[in-house]
Amino acid sequence: MKLGTLCRAAGIELPLDAEDLTVTSVETDSRKTIPGSLFICIRGLHTDSHQCIPDAIAKGASVILTEKGASFPPPGGDVLLLAAEDTRRASAFLYHAWYGFPGKDLKLIGVTGTNGKTSITHMLRHILESCYLPCGLIGTLGCESRGRPLESASGDALANMTTPDPQVLYRLLAQMEKDGVEYVVMEVSSHALALGKLAPLHFALSIFTNLTQDHLDFHKTMEAYADAKASLFAQSRCSVLCIDSPYAERMRRQGEGRVVTCSSASRNADYSAFPLSGSGREGVQYRLEAAHLSLRLFCPILGHFSITNSMQAAVAAMELGIRPTRVKEALASLPGIKGRMERVPLGVDADFTVLIDYAHTPDALENLLRTAREICGEGERIVLLFGCGGNRDAGKRPIMGRIACAYADFVILTSDNSRDENSEDILAQILSGMDLAQKRIVIPDRKQAIEYAILHAEKGDLILLAGKGHEEYEISRGERKRFSEREIVEAALLARRRRSDRRQDASYPEDRERHTASERKESDLKE
């Protein structure tokens, strides 16, 4: 591609005699440069790739884009130096151009907020596909084009990005366009907005879910966090805002196009949801009311927050032109969403329940526990297993400890992607917010903690494994290792059954001695 085409798209000045220079690739990783590459230098939180300029040139890079004011080693050699105010933002425009400006012909739908993004994107995608509209999906659970998984991993094995980096994002959009996708439903993170990853794009519709404390390690203040989220609505032709959040007005002020409001707690919205009796372990039922509409809806996902999430998906679909009756049918047939109130199959003989949920913020944890309390019968316990991520907002840790005390009957504190932090330090911060009278146990090893929960489950228990949700890995001390909570539950359940079988065998007189030894061993374990 001609350098002039790339630089015009990104607003980068270059000498006239360089307009027709051919660029063979655009790279942000010096190790991937080849002869003729344009290498983009980015100052990150921990590294500064300006220091990699000599390596990029050694591999053949012919154009280097630096950030104004940055210091770097003298490049040397026959190389063209260009500059931009913000190379990270410029990279979004460069990759957008490199992949043929894919966003211009796709109907983009962005979903942003602290909680609910994954659920809403999957609900809305399901509604659109039920109407035979070809869809793409970008988010926490992965990326798909018309149901086909797309490779979306970044070069960082420890990264878990809701919104991919530009070099991946625009490749994905180009592939979706090639596949004949019409709608792309994507989760939009505050990091992506603050860093300008989506700056070249315009959205047909965007959704705001809520805003509660999270990511303050990056944004520092809730105001900066809210401002990052609000910037999405300046790029959207239609904004669907949940006014149950006090930050909705800030989002409204940024909206450039039509603004539509919805609520599951107020009548002062364009669309309002009113819960109906009959909700519980099978899902939620509610009536969606608007000036032109009264629609009874059912969503098979547990919890009051499923009313809010499915309401926003339904409103968005109708604002996109989907008939209300089709929305109703699609929501009723919604499949489960991995790691969102996901029930682990335990078999017909199990007398307790295990749910896996991604709740990793104070608000999400409280919603999860409130839902658990709604569906628990009299005398049934809520057993909560959770931890907090390392190298992330530490201020939420004692808050989550207080929430656990308020709603759970028994708490198992454990690790959750401790990363570079000491897990015991994280647990101590959670404990600082907990009531000393709370029934709890601390088991730093998450595998052992899950095994403990299953082996000590009582009849009627609702065991909540919170924090990891869809994740199939554990990050600790710079390593990312495979970690499946579902597999651990299954193995622990098998061990529980074997122990039960041994106890039944021990009930016969000839096995009395073995029974006594087994009881003694279990007593030692408890101690």
pLDDT (tens digit, 9 = 90+) per residue, 132-175? 999 999 998 889 999 999 987 755 544 456 789 999 999 999 99
Encoded tokens for 146: 């018309």
The single residue listed with the structure tokens 């201020």 is 395
pLDDT at 47: 84
What's residue 517's pLDDT? 43
| Structure confidence at residue 44 (pLDDT) | 79
- Do the Cβ atoms of 198 and 93 come closer than 8 Å? no
User: Alpha helix (H) ranges present in 432-511?
Assistant: 446-455, 485-506
* Fold of domain 342-501: Protein-Tyrosine Phosphatase; Chain A (3.90.190)
What pLDDT score was predicted for residue 326? 97
Between 146-150, 273-277, 398-402, the lowest mean confidence (pLDDT) is in 273-277
Q: Look at residues 392, 480, 472, 381 and name the one whose alpha carbon lies nearest to residue 430.
A: 392
Q: What is the pLDDT of residue 156?
A: 52
Confidence of residue 514 (pLDDT cuts 50, 70, 90): very low
Residue 507 has pLDDT above 90, yes or no: no
What is the full DSSP assignment across 160-209? --SS--HHHHHHHHHHHHHTT--EEEEE--HHHHHTTTTTT--BSEEEE-
- Specify the DSSP element, H or E, that contains 296: strand 293-299
Per-residue H/E/C for 127-164: HHHHCCCCEEEEECCEEEECCEEECCCCCCCCCCCCCC
181 band by pLDDT with thresholds 50, 70 and 90: very high
Per-residue confidence (pLDDT) for residue 522, from 0 to 100: 38
Contacts of 199 (CB under 8 A, 6+ apart): 89, 92, 93
Specify the pLDDT at position 510: 46
Q: What is the pLDDT of residue 347?
A: 85
Give the mean model confidence (pLDDT) for residues 423-440.
93
Cα(336)–Cα(126) distance, rounded to whole angstroms?
11
pLDDT over 70 at 423, yes or no:
yes
pLDDT in tens, 205-264: 999 999 887 767 777 898 999 999 999 999 999 999 999 999 999 999 988 889 999 999
Assign 136 to helix, strand or coil.
strand
Please say whether the beta carbons of 432 and 424 come within 8 A: no
Which stretch of DSSP H or E encloses residue 514? Answer: helix 512-526
Does the pLDDT of residue 71 top 90, yes or no?
no
At 196, the amino acid letter reads G
**Band of pLDDT at residue 278, cut at 50, 70 and 90:** low
Q: Does the pLDDT value for residue 114 go beyond 50?
A: yes
Q: Specify the pLDDT at position 501.
A: 78
Q: Which CATH superfamily is domain 100-332 in?
A: Mur-like, catalytic domain (3.40.1190.10)
Q: What 3-state DSSP class applies to 408?
A: coil
Could you report the per-residue pLDDT of 283-308, keeping only the tens digit for each? 899 999 999 999 999 999 887 889 99
Using DSSP's 3-state secondary structure scheme, residue 228 falls into helix
Residues of the chain with pLDDT > 70: what percent? Answer: 93
Domain 3-97 sits in which CATH superfamily? MurE/MurF, N-terminal domain (3.40.1390.10)
Lowest mean pLDDT among 87-96, 332-341, 361-370, 480-489: 332-341
Cβ proximity of 424 and 453 under 8 Å: no
Q: CB of 95 within 8 A of CB of 26?
A: yes
How much of the chain, in percent, has pLDDT values that exceed 90? 69
CA diameter of the chain:
97
Q: Residue ranges of the domains in the chain?
A: 3-97, 100-332, 342-501
User: How many angstroms separate the Cα of 195 from the Cα of each of 89, 102, 190, 192, 213?
Assistant: 6, 20, 8, 5, 19
Lowest mean pLDDT among 53-62, 116-125, 174-183, 269-278: 269-278
Contact 242, 263 (CB under 8 A): yes
Contact 427, 456 (CB under 8 A): no
**What pLDDT score was predicted for residue 449?**
96
Mean pLDDT, the chain, whole residue set: 89
